[in-house]
Amino acid sequence: MTSILLALIIGGAFGVVLDRTGAANPTLIGKMLNLTNLHLAKTILLAIGTGSVLMFGGQMLGLVDVAHMSVKSAYIGVFVGGLLLGLGWAASGFCPGTSLVGAAAGRKDAWTFIGGGLLGAAAYMATYPGSKDMGLLDKVGGGKVTLGTVPGAKYEGLTMIPGDILGIALGAVFIIVAFMLPERLMKKADVVPAE
Amino acid sequence: MTLNWKIGGLALGFVFFLAVLLVKPIGVSTQFVIFDGILWNAVDSSVVTQADDGSYTSTNAYLAKSGGKYAKNIANPLNYSFIFALAMVIGGAASAYLRGGIGTDERNMPAIWRANFGDSVIKRYAVAFAAGFVVLYGARLAGGCTSGHMMSGMMQTALSGYIFTAGAFAAAIPTAIILFRKEA
């Protein structure tokens, strides 16, 4: 029962912040990806950095259970799948999580995205043995690895650098980049204004 | 209306931290598979089966992988990850309602789409449907999405998170630059 309660609280909070940060608004996603307004990119970079510093800092202080980490495997399909996701994310402005929040806010196109998504997930279920046979799921770089070696974690490190210190350092880099990133990269002249 | 990135980024980062502090890193795209499985198993109850030792498996190789953990969640929809996705809908709906909703025009299509491709809702829905298909196929091939790989993954310094993010932006940035030439 506790886990259901936590799911409601953390999932609910995630839904609220995705709505309030504008991550579930395809216009803001589109402006970030065509490099005309990087406000949302700053939000995302700061979020990753904040999460990283708090998690690894908490681990070093013994406040965060290292066993709660869950590192996904690295394989060729991660890159190929990333390309596919990027294509659809740019075209629609939705990713799996933000489509749920967009639909909740009343966006009808988010509902059709979810319909397509359920079909796409089903298509992957049907073709999974094929991706496996093609070698798309073969591990690269050791599979489930972190960039440094995190003390007490069940995952191997790509390097011998202490993973918790590296995690805090990289978190700091994400935060600094968030502050340094300009509001826009694409010059106004490159984009035709709407009528 | 939209939170300043400094407040929004801290709030979003704190939620990702809270998840890994109390339970496990956030991920969403698996739940599309679980929902498909629930529907499929409702139509054909032979899809997910339980063995005598209590373990679950499926006639579908993907649902049976990793010791049948997807099959188990399909048989027991009241699990953390599935309820988490449903709670996102509740949180998103409440938040949008409390800030006064998004308006009729936005309900039909986002401003950036209207500025570049006009008012046809059919065209917008067709693209959103096709994009949903490609996004979830890609996310399942990658083993995660923007939440699980990009945010949770890079936050944990996972190699896979960086590989995924490189792929996602390599496709997303050129696509958006080509598609959205007019500013909303």
Rounded CA-CA distance A128/B61 in Å is 7
The residue extents of the domains of chain A are 2-183
Helix (H), strand (E) at residue B65 = helix B61-75
Question: Is ipTM strictly over 0.90?
Answer: yes
pLDDT value of residue A187: 75
Nearest to A124 among B85, B110, B141 (CB): B141
What six digits make up the tokens of B170? 């390599």
State pLDDT tens for residues A138-177. 999 999 999 999 999 999 999 999 999 999 999 999 999 9
CA atoms of A28 and B2, how far apart (whole Å): 10
Whole-angstrom CA distances from B92 to A127, A147, B12, B96 are: 33, 34, 14, 6
Q: In whole angstroms, what is the distance from residue A80 CA to residue A78 CA? A: 6
pLDDT at residue A194 tops 80: no
- Per the document, the length of chain A is 195
Tell me how many degrees the CA angle B130-B134-B138 measures, rounded to the nearest 5.
170
Contact B168, A85 (CB under 8 A): yes
Which of B138, B160, B169 faces A74 most closely, judged by CB atoms? B160
Is B28's CB within 8 Å of A96's CB?
A: yes
Closest chain A C-alpha to B53 CA, distance in angstroms:
24
Per the CB < 8 Å rule, is B127 touching A55? no
Question: In Å, what is the CA distance from A107 to each residue of A81, A99, A104, A128?
Answer: 26, 9, 7, 31
Residue of B nearest to A161 (CA): B157
B168:A105 CB<8 A: no
Confidence of residue A189 (pLDDT cuts 50, 70, 90): low
Measured distance CA(B132)–CA(B143) in Å, rounded? 16
The stretch A84-93 carries a mean pLDDT of 98
Tell me how close the Cα of B51 comes to any Cα of chain A, in angstroms. 22
Query: Pick from B61, B131, B171: which is nearest to A128 by CB?
Result: B61
What letter does residue A136 receive in the DSSP assignment?
A: T
The predicted-structure confidence for B78-107, as pLDDT tens digits, reads as follows 999 999 999 999 999 999 999 999 999 999
DSSP-assigned letter for residue A194: P
Decide: residue A61, CB within 10 A, 0-12 exposed, 13-18 middle, 19+ buried. Answer: exposed
Burial class (CB in 10 A: 0-12, 13-18, 19+), B100: exposed
State the average pLDDT over residues B69-75.
96
Measure in Å the smallest separation between the Cα of B72 and chain A Cα atoms: 16
b/e sequence A81-106, b meaning 16+ C-beta within 10 Å: bbbbbbbbbbbbbbbbbbbbbbbbbb
A152 CB neighbours in chain B (<8 A) are: none
DSSP 8-state code for residue A142 = T
Q: How far is CA B34 from CA A93, A101, B41, B67, B70, in A?
A: 23, 18, 10, 15, 7
Judge: B173–A34 Cβ closer than 8 Å, yes or no: yes
Identity of the residue in A13, A112, A121 whose CB atom sits nearest the CB atom of B125: A112
**Residue B151 near residue A49 (C-beta atoms within 8 A):** no
What span, in angstroms and rounded, lies between the C-alpha atoms of B153 and A150?
A: 14
For testing the chain B interface, which of A9, A19, A107, A187 should be mutated: the one with the most B CBs within 10 Å?
Answer: A19
Q: What is the pLDDT of residues A24-73, one digit of tens each?
A: 999 999 999 999 999 999 999 999 999 999 999 999 999 999 999 999 99
